[in-house]
Amino acid sequence: MRLEHLFFNLAVAIVVGMAYRRMTGRDPSVIIVLAAFLPDLNVVVHAGVHLLAWISGITILFYHGSFHNILALAAISFGVAFVASRFGIRFRDAGLCTAIGYGTHLVCDAVAFNDVSLLLWPLVPATTVPVPYWYNPNFLHIAQGSVLAVAVTLVLLAALVRTYVEGRGWIRNYTHPQFT
């Protein structure tokens, strides 16, 4: 589901960027696209945890869904906003767009894997036992044809709507993003 996340987030970013630009005069929606893969950072973290466990001899459980919940969404969005604000990007813009991009990823996973319990983890106890990512048959799955077709269609529709409303100038934001 790697490409699907990119395309679904791009479709959301195009529409959110249009609305955000009308409200604030800025369009930081490229951050939504960049946030498409943040929930999957647990794979990188897992590699480090696995290495530490191997070195120390201690068994550490770390599951694929560890970053796929609203608690992680809030923490990572705040962290990205804090770091981005140090580089001149408004805290609110970076935090909101990161949360939207991260949330889009979570919703796509919840729909695709039919498991909302991990998504709402701090609020609702998980009803299923999370599967370690290396046992997940979908872990290395790059794209599923029908889901990818829907995602690409949504991107095209969002682009057509935004082009109709704003003209072709909005595309410049994705090649030369301006955050101020």
- Cα 82 from chain centroid? 17
d(CA 150, CA 113): 16
Q: What DSSP string describes 89-119? A: --HHHHHHHHHHHHHHHHHHHHHHHT--TTT
AA identity, residue 78: F
Q: Please report the pLDDT score of residue 48 as a whole number.
A: 73
Q: Please report the pLDDT score of residue 157 as a whole number.
A: 95
Please state whether the predicted TM-score (pTM) of the whole model is above 0.85.
Answer: no
Look up tokens 């077709």; give the residue: 149
* pLDDT of the chain, 180 residues: tens digit per residue: 678 888 999 999 999 999 998 898 888 888 999 998 888 877 777 677 767 777 877 766 555 557 778 888 999 999 999 999 999 999 999 999 999 999 998 888 777 765 555 566 555 555 544 444 444 445 444 456 677 788 889 999 999 999 999 888 888 767 666 665
d(CA 87, CA 163): 30
d(CA 160, CA 165): 9
Please check whether residue 32 is in contact with residue 18, taking contact to mean a CB–CB distance below 8 angstroms.
Answer: no
